[in-house]
Chains A and B, each alone.
Chain A
Amino acid sequence: MSFNIAIAGNPNCGKTTIFNGLTGARQHVGNWPGVTVERKSGHYSFADQRFDVIDLPGTYSLSAFSAEETIARQYLLDEGPDVVVNIIDASNMERNLFLTTQLIESGRPLVIVLNMMDMALEKGLEIDSETLSTLLGAPVVPVIGRTGEGLDLLREKILRVATEISQKSRPIDIIYPRDIEAEIQKINTLLEKSPLAERQVRWTSVKLLESDEETHHAVRAVDGGKEILDQTNDSIARIERLFKDTGRAVISHARYGFIQGAIRECVVENLSDAVDSSRQIDRILTNRWLGLPIFGFFMWLMFKITYDIGSIPMAWIDSVLVALMNFVSGVLPESMIASLLVDGVIGGVGAIAVFLPNIFLLFFIIAMLEDTGYMARVAFIMDRVMHNIGLHGKAFIPMIMGFGCNVPAIMGTRILESRRDRILTVLINPFMSCSARLPVYVLVAGAFFPENAATVIFSMYVLGVVAAIASGKLFSKTILKGMSKPFVLELPPYQRPTFRSLSLHTWERGYIFIQKMGTVILVGSIIIWVLGYFPTEVTLDRDYNAERANVSTQYAQELQDLTLKYEASIATDSSTYYSEMLSYRASSGYHMLNTQYLDIKAKLNASEQAEIFSLKQQEIGDITEQKWIGQVGKIFEPIVRPLGFSWRESVALITGFVAKEIVVSTYGVLFGVGENVDEGSHGVISGLRSSGMTPLVALSFLVFTLLYTPCLATVAAIKRETGTWAYTLFSIGYSLGLAYTLAFCVTYFGGMFNWLS
């Protein structure tokens, strides 16, 4: 036999820790249908029974105001789990028990877990769990989730409740003030006669008095529903008259009254000498003057660690990939399959694989910030700034991370609780100029603004931030209007993180990256490879082989002439050599001739190599022009022409869709300098300069590169985090539109005033 167990509790009460403690590694992380709220499920065996465990979203109540609450509630009511395990933070019982009062009313068999007993002890709290159990009508198990203490007892209690279906311990009722009880009774009586009688009648009555929309809906739909609703409205009116507040507020107040009564009976608070260490830490970390600089330092450190330390394993992965590519091209004969494997699959997926160290490090640091409790302080410190864009303080972290790479940054938006905030942050994140765009800036700015390159590059970063802020404001006033939630943030006590929890969180997020990004990137890079590979037969106007042969013969001729001349002069020299055998001057003359000869010969050789190389690359450029990718570039050329771009820019931008730094290597190919250009490459710079591009168009190109469609990996991340194609396509379209508009403005207005022409 198997049982369904649901874990419910407030955010941060240790649900995930207990879930992991119960299920070990046997778990599955996914999303709840239709929403990007994480859904964790797993199972364990105990006493030959199988227990399927589901981790409900952390909520403070079941009032269905947020997606998380709706999910938790629907699961509890519709799926009817065999046992609900309610986790309570023992060091913060009063507020945690609020949800418990609702769970008791929902009527599911309940096991209550007093987690964080260590913290409660530290706080000087003595909790009588026997009495609490009697008061709440459910078994209470004290646990330290972190060490696993008490989990065995918990398994046992779950088993007992599941098998007995708690026949003995009759669930208690939360008793409300007499005037409310009277109204509940009136509605109960009506409900018991209606088709809703088999549901939890008391729960329904209380929810009706709380003006709960979904319950009202459900009741309206049944026979006699109207009568019940009429009674409800009467009752609410009476309660409001008596208590001078809404039914909902009065009932919540009464719940807290019940809780306070229970706590008075079973908790003894020993005034401990132990200072509130968490508060002491906060004296410094959120200090008026020190708070911001310390936060800035942490952010700097996070960047430093992610990108500097991350670059070490990045180099290893890179060399492994190169070795792999060499190996494959070594064993396979040159063929389409070999090219597909090497350039398409290994090259494409490898481009993502090298980011793995960065991403895992970043997730590790984020897990650290979250587990220590500092993340809540980040929200506290930065809320003032982010509020301007209509965002929650925590959104600052993904925004900053965007300067490194948008992919982990967008995945980092999971730290935000509200879906609307997540979507808004995801949509503006690509405007934060990621590190992949820097090589493009360096190349183009270096070519056209050698004097002011740094200023130009810096202004790109500023423009990105401005675009993000402006778009954020625009979105929060238009498409994402009215979905904003009030800022109500709990600041949990600081905690020492455990390595186990850190690695678990890191792995969970990192794995999603590997899984999802891998597939999308693979498909994307194969598409780009196909565009670059076909058609295999191209006809070239110029006969490059002949030209190369021509160059070779020319040089061979010159070399021969030179050698002849040299031998001749040696001959003359040696005749005088014999006659003036002892002359020092002659011998040095001989030496001079010899070095001169070798020198010229070397120079000739080098320039021959260069010419052949350049021909080779021109050929590649010509070939590219005829491949599908070049044709696509040509197709889009009329569209980008108003911006002053040629088909080359068009191709570069299209390939840049895979990853923005590819823009540079594409230019390398197009200008015949080879793929491995470094940013300062003279060939590309002179190529760019002689291609007819003006500094103004170059600037416009930079603006376009900064803002246009995020790279493929980012698009995949957007799809993953927003969960819908609608937002993904919107993001692509919006950024393209913005890039086009601003680039056009640069070209058009700049041209009007003859700037930088």
Chain B
Amino acid sequence: MFNSKRPRHQLSKAIEGDLRLSDLKPGEKGRIQEIGGSEQFRQRLIEMGLTRDAEICVDKYAPLRDPLELIIRGYHLSLRGMDAQKISVERIS
């Protein structure tokens, strides 16, 4: 009755790469390498412009340390730390 929609695309993807988006400090920039997690999550982020090699900047953390505010393709976006952990990046200075 309540689960009118069956869950789709729940396959999740493990990613490699040591440095994660969540490891960047406020003000630091990175280049996106790979995005892990469920297919739905990956696709959502890619559609919002978090494609491979896109430049992303960690602007700040929320007062309670989570979520974080990012700047990507000229706009501001917020993700939770646990989701930012699924994104591997390459630091750029």
Any B CB within 8 A of the CB of A385: yes
Q: A249-B43, A383-B80, A483-B5 are in contact. Are A60 and B48 (CB under 8 A)?
A: yes
Residue of B nearest to A293 (CB): B63
Q: A248-B43, A487-B79, A488-B79 are in contact. Are A482 and B7 (CB under 8 A)?
A: yes
| A491/B62 in contact, CB under 8 A | no
Q: Which residues on the B side are within 8 Å of A385 (C-beta)?
A: 64
Any A CB within 8 A of the CB of B18: no
What separation, in Å, do the CA atoms of A562 and B12 have in the docked complex?
95
- Shortest B65–chain A CB gap in Å is 7
CB-contact partner of B51 in A253, A483, A488, A492, under 8 A: A253
| B3/A95 in contact, CB under 8 A | no
| B69/A491 in contact, CB under 8 A | yes
Chain B contributes a number of interface residues (CB within 8 A of A) equal to 40
Q: Which residues on the A side are within 8 Å of B69 (C-beta)?
A: 286, 380, 491
CB-contact partner of A65 in B44, B48, B49, B73, under 8 A: B44
Among A98, A486, A727, the one with the most B-chain Cβ atoms within 10 Å of its Cβ is A486
CB-contact partner of B49 in A256, A379, A491, A726, under 8 A: A256
Any B CB within 8 A of the CB of A287: yes
Chain B positions 2 through 38: 1 when the CB is less than 8 Å from some CB of chain A, otherwise 0: 1101011000000000000000000000000000011
Q: Which residues on the B side are within 8 Å of A94 (C-beta)?
A: 49, 73-74
Residue of A nearest to B54 (CB): A256
Q: Which residues on the A side are within 8 Å of B1 (C-beta)?
A: 726
- Shortest A149–chain B CB gap in Å is 23
| A253/B52 in contact, CB under 8 A | yes
Q: Which residues on the B side are within 8 Å of A213 (C-beta)?
A: 8
What separation, in Å, do the CA atoms of A63 and B42 have in the docked complex?
12
| B47/A252 in contact, CB under 8 A | yes
| A245/B83 in contact, CB under 8 A | no
CB-contact partner of B47 in A98, A292, A490, under 8 A: A98
| A253/B46 in contact, CB under 8 A | yes
What separation, in Å, do the CA atoms of A482 and B66 have in the docked complex?
22
| B63/A383 in contact, CB under 8 A | no
| A380/B67 in contact, CB under 8 A | yes
Chain A contributes a number of interface residues (CB within 8 A of B) equal to 47
Any B CB within 8 A of the CB of A479: yes
CB-contact partner of A489 in B39, B46, B64, B78, under 8 A: B78
- Shortest A396–chain B CB gap in Å is 12
Residue of A nearest to B83 (CB): A486
Q: Which residues on the B side are within 8 Å of A252 (C-beta)?
A: 43, 46-47, 51
Q: Which residues on the B side are within 8 Å of A220 (C-beta)?
A: none
| B75/A92 in contact, CB under 8 A | yes
What separation, in Å, do the CA atoms of A245 and B64 have in the docked complex?
35
What separation, in Å, do the CA atoms of A201 and B51 have in the docked complex?
26
Q: A95-B75, A380-B78 are in contact. Are A63 and B43 (CB under 8 A)?
A: yes
| B47/A726 in contact, CB under 8 A | no
| A487/B83 in contact, CB under 8 A | yes
Among B1, B47, B76, the one with the most A-chain Cβ atoms within 10 Å of its Cβ is B47
Any B CB within 8 A of the CB of A21: no
Any B CB within 8 A of the CB of A304: no
Q: A95-B75, A488-B45 are in contact. Are A384 and B3 (CB under 8 A)?
A: no
| B74/A384 in contact, CB under 8 A | no
- Shortest A179–chain B CB gap in Å is 16
What separation, in Å, do the CA atoms of A363 and B42 have in the docked complex?
35
| B43/A287 in contact, CB under 8 A | no
| B42/A249 in contact, CB under 8 A | yes
CB-contact partner of B2 in A95, A379, A485, A726, under 8 A: A726
Q: Which residues on the B side are within 8 Å of A492 (C-beta)?
A: 75-76
- Shortest B29–chain A CB gap in Å is 16
What separation, in Å, do the CA atoms of A488 and B44 have in the docked complex?
8
CB-contact partner of B63 in A92, A249, A292, under 8 A: A292
Q: A288-B63, A479-B2, A490-B76 are in contact. Are A95 and B43 (CB under 8 A)?
A: no
Residue of A nearest to B65 (CB): A384
Any B CB within 8 A of the CB of A61: yes
- Shortest A148–chain B CB gap in Å is 25
| A249/B46 in contact, CB under 8 A | yes
Residue of B nearest to A493 (CB): B76
CB-contact partner of B52 in A245, A289, A387, A482, under 8 A: A245
Chain A positions 464 through 502: 1 when the CB is less than 8 Å from some CB of chain B, otherwise 0: 000000000000000111110111111111000000000
Interface residues of B in 50-93 (CB under 8 A from A): 51-52, 54, 60-67, 69, 73-80, 83
Residue of B nearest to A61 (CB): B47
Residue of B nearest to A727 (CB): B2
Q: Which residues on the B side are within 8 Å of A379 (C-beta)?
A: 78
Any B CB within 8 A of the CB of A381: yes
| A488/B48 in contact, CB under 8 A | yes
| B46/A380 in contact, CB under 8 A | no
What separation, in Å, do the CA atoms of A253 and B48 have in the docked complex?
11
Q: Which residues on the B side are within 8 Å of A253 (C-beta)?
A: 46, 51-52
| B51/A256 in contact, CB under 8 A | yes
- Shortest A389–chain B CB gap in Å is 14
Q: Which residues on the A side are within 8 Å of B48 (C-beta)?
A: 60, 95, 488, 490
Q: Which residues on the A side are within 8 Å of B76 (C-beta)?
A: 490-493
- Shortest B3–chain A CB gap in Å is 7
Residue of A nearest to B69 (CB): A491
Q: Which residues on the B side are within 8 Å of A393 (C-beta)?
A: 67
Q: Which residues on the B side are within 8 Å of A63 (C-beta)?
A: 43, 47
| A286/B51 in contact, CB under 8 A | no
- Shortest A120–chain B CB gap in Å is 11
- Shortest B81–chain A CB gap in Å is 9
Among B42, B66, B77, B78, the one with the most A-chain Cβ atoms within 10 Å of its Cβ is B78
Q: Which residues on the A side are within 8 Å of B45 (C-beta)?
A: 488
| A387/B8 in contact, CB under 8 A | no
| B5/A489 in contact, CB under 8 A | no
Any B CB within 8 A of the CB of A150: no
- Shortest A725–chain B CB gap in Å is 11
Among B37, B38, B64, the one with the most A-chain Cβ atoms within 10 Å of its Cβ is B64
Beyond contacts A249-B51, A480-B2: 8 other A-B pairs, Cβ-Cβ < 8 A, are: A63-B47, A94-B74, A381-B62, A487-B78, A488-B45, A490-B48, A490-B78, A493-B76
Which 8 residue pairs spanning A and B have beta carbons closest together? A384-B64, A491-B76, A291-B63, A489-B78, A61-B47, A479-B2, A94-B73, A252-B46
A-B residue pairs in contact (CB < 8 Å), sample of 29: A61-B47, A65-B44, A92-B74, A92-B75, A94-B73, A95-B73, A98-B47, A249-B43, A249-B51, A252-B46, A252-B47, A291-B63, A380-B69, A383-B78, A383-B80, A384-B62, A385-B64, A486-B37, A486-B38, A486-B83, A487-B67, A488-B44, A488-B78, A488-B83, A489-B67, A489-B77, A489-B78, A490-B48, A492-B76
